[in-house]
Structure formats: C-alpha cells, structure tokens
C-alpha cells in the first residue's frame, strides 16, 4: 500500500511534509487537576492529570523526587476492529512507559519528593500517530494543571 499517491498526496490529502491539523481544548474534566482534549488529524485523545499528590502505595514513593505514572488506553470504539477493552496489552504498556520516560525528564520532579503525578490518556478515535497525539495532549493537560516543567514535550 502506497502512503503517497502518484500525485504526491497522502490518503488524507496532506502533502508529504505537512503535519496533521491540531485542535485542542483545556479544562475538559473539572474533577482533574488538569485536562485536555486534542484532535490531531482524525486522531482524538482525552487526557487527565492528577497531582502532584501523595502516592496511594507507599512503596512507590521516592525520597528525592515524585513518581510519574502514565496510563494509556484505547476506547473500544476507537478503531474499526471491535475488541474487548484494549488496555493492558503490550502496545499500551509500551506507550505508557515511553510517556513516563519523556515526562519524568520534562517535569521538575525534584520539586515534589514523596509525591506522585498521574497522567491518564484515552484514545477516542485512532487515525495514526496515537503516541504523538497522547504526548501532546498530556503536555497540554500538565500545563493546565500548572505542573512546573523544564519545557514542553511535543511530538508530530
């Protein structure tokens, strides 16, 4: 399957060097400390941030920094294939781990010893670049929560 047509366009009409259109809204969950809804092309993500807060499990605490906990899941209706809850599979766990690594370096974790920050991303509609959309939504949600960061994490 060719990604680029003979006329030089992608399937969705973009040229090879163009990124997907991005739209977002902050503060979509009132119960969360920060939240964001992001559309990156036709990929749609909801992200909520809770914390920094005291860890629920004492054995997860660290004396000199906070723990960043990420969870990535796909809504059952996010793709054309209907699956049982596609969470906890190898791909979702790998995406969550990659997000944790990225945000542990960006967040000023040393400012919050013995604390935890939870980032929950739910993929509502899958149309490519799932991880990039989740990273961007999480960055927006962290900013909405007012979590101090060294810089913004962005992905395309």
Q: Where are the domains of the chain?
A: 22-145
Is pLDDT at 155 greater than 80 in this prediction? yes
What's the token pair of residue 24?
């977002």
Is pLDDT at 52 greater than 70 in this prediction? yes
What's the token pair of residue 94?
């790998």
Select from 3.20.20.140, 3.90.1010.20, 3.20.20.220, 3.30.230.70 the CATH code of 22-145: 3.30.230.70
* Whether 34 contacts 147, CB under 8 Å: yes
30 burial via Cβ count (<10 Å: 0-12, 13-18, 19+):
exposed
Q: Residue 87: its pLDDT value, please?
A: 52
pLDDT tens per residue across span 69-121? 999 998 888 776 655 555 568 888 999 999 999 999 999 999 999 999 999 99
Looking at residue 7, the DSSP 8-state letter turns out to be T
Q: Mean of the pLDDT values across residues 21-43?
A: 94
Q: Which helix (H) or strand (E) element contains residue 35? A: strand 34-40
* Residue 90 dihedral angles phi and psi, to the nearest 5°: -60, -45
Q: How far apart are CA 47 and CA 120, in angstroms?
A: 5
Is pLDDT at 2 greater than 70 in this prediction? no
Q: Residue 129: its pLDDT value, please?
A: 85
Among residues 29, 120, 28, 123, which one has the least CA distance to residue 77? 123
* Whether 79 contacts 91, CB under 8 Å: no
* Whether 81 contacts 103, CB under 8 Å: no
Q: Residue 131: its pLDDT value, please?
A: 93
* Whether 128 contacts 41, CB under 8 Å: yes
Q: Residue 150: its pLDDT value, please?
A: 97
Is pLDDT at 46 greater than 60 in this prediction? yes
Q: Is the pTM of this model over 0.75?
A: yes
Q: Residue 76: its pLDDT value, please?
A: 81
Q: How far apart are CA 41 and CA 15, in angstroms?
A: 13
């Amino acid at each position: 399957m060719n990604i680029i047509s003979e006329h030089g366009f992608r399937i969705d009409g973009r040229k090879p060097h163009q990124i997907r259109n991005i739209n977002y809204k902050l503060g979509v969950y009132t119960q969360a400390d920060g939240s964001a809804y992001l559309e990156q092309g036709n990929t749609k993500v909801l992200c909520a941030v809770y914390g920094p807060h005291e860890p629920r499990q004492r054995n997860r605490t660290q004396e000199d920094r906070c723990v960043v906990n990420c969870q990535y899941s796909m809504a059952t209706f996010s793709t054309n294939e209907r699956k049982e809850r596609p969470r906890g599979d190898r791909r979702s766990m790998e995406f969550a781990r990659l997000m944790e690594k990225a945000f542990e370096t960006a967040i000023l974790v040393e400012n919050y010893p013995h604390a935890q920050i939870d980032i929950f991303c739910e993929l509502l509609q899958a149309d490519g670049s799932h991880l990039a959309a989740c990273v961007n939504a999480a960055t927006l949600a962290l900013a909405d929560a007012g979590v101090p960061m060294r810089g913004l994490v962005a992905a395309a």
